[in-house]
Amino acid sequence: MNEKKLYYAKYYTYEARKDMRWLHRTIELLHQHPERGRYESEEAGELFTNETIEVGRKLIKLMEIEKPQPKEISELYKLLKFYKGVRNSDWDDICKYVEKWHWVANIWDNFEGNIKLNLWNEVECQFYSIAKPLITEGKFIRQSSSIGNYGHVLLQIEPTIEDNNIEHNLQIVWQINDDEIIPFYYIYAIFEGIIDAIIEYFHQTNIALTSMKIIVYNGSHHEIDSREIDYRIAAIIAWRKALVNAKLVSL
């Protein structure tokens, strides 16, 4: 049992989940304005209005259950995550809610510093891994007279390709044991940022990166300016930088 508590767990209790006004309003707006089914910047883009309404209704059904099955939360998380950043802003907002619920319901209580996942079940794609280990750094730091931004992470990425035993899994590992370096409550944002970046790369290239261990081993934080979004962005930046010079091998 993880003794450290996630501050946002209180928003996912059965009582807290009864307040679904935001989600009902989102679905209502999608019915009234079907153009919300695409990003505002993509006027000619494909509409995903009905798909977004459908996942919104699925989420409502889960939120209405006092003790939903963790597997059902996980499956909804995987669906939303795979198309985050691809469909529309409402989809992304629903995904952000389910991401944290997934961590509360399925990960955090038994979290021992790593997660293993397969992002590519039932996805037709070409699998690749990296040829050799590499180090990458991501910084998202902006100074401001009011509220600044400060996210900073270092990742070590290692291939996990063994002879005749290729598993299409990704493992993300937390190796920071000092909250003075990066506080534990940013683990969620960094891990999810890494996953965002891997899926983003797939949608851009149709290359599914797998059979790798991604180790978060260092970084820093700012007591005032650091926020979850800063670490998510820093993790995405680190991943993008890694791929610039990485040699990929087909599996």
- Cα–Cα distances (Å) from 46 to 5, 35, 51, 199, in that order, read 41, 10, 12, 19
Output the CATH code of domain 114-250. 3.30.230.10
Q: Where are the domains of the chain?
A: 7-110, 114-250
| DSSP notation for 6-38 | -GGGGGGSHHHHT--HHHHHHHHHHHH-GGGGS
User: Would you state the structure tokens that stand for residue 12, as one six-digit string?
Assistant: 């996912």
Confidence grade of residue 44 (pLDDT, cut at 50, 70, 90) = confident
Q: Write the pLDDT tens digit of every residue in 232-246.
A: 999 999 999 999 989
d(CA 47, CA 153): 36
Q: Which residue has the higher pLDDT, 6 or 44?
A: 6
Which is nearest to 152 in space by CA: 103, 108, 216, 197? 216
d(CA 53, CA 36): 11
**Residue 40 above 90 pLDDT?**
no
Assessment of whether the complete model's pTM goes beyond 0.85: yes
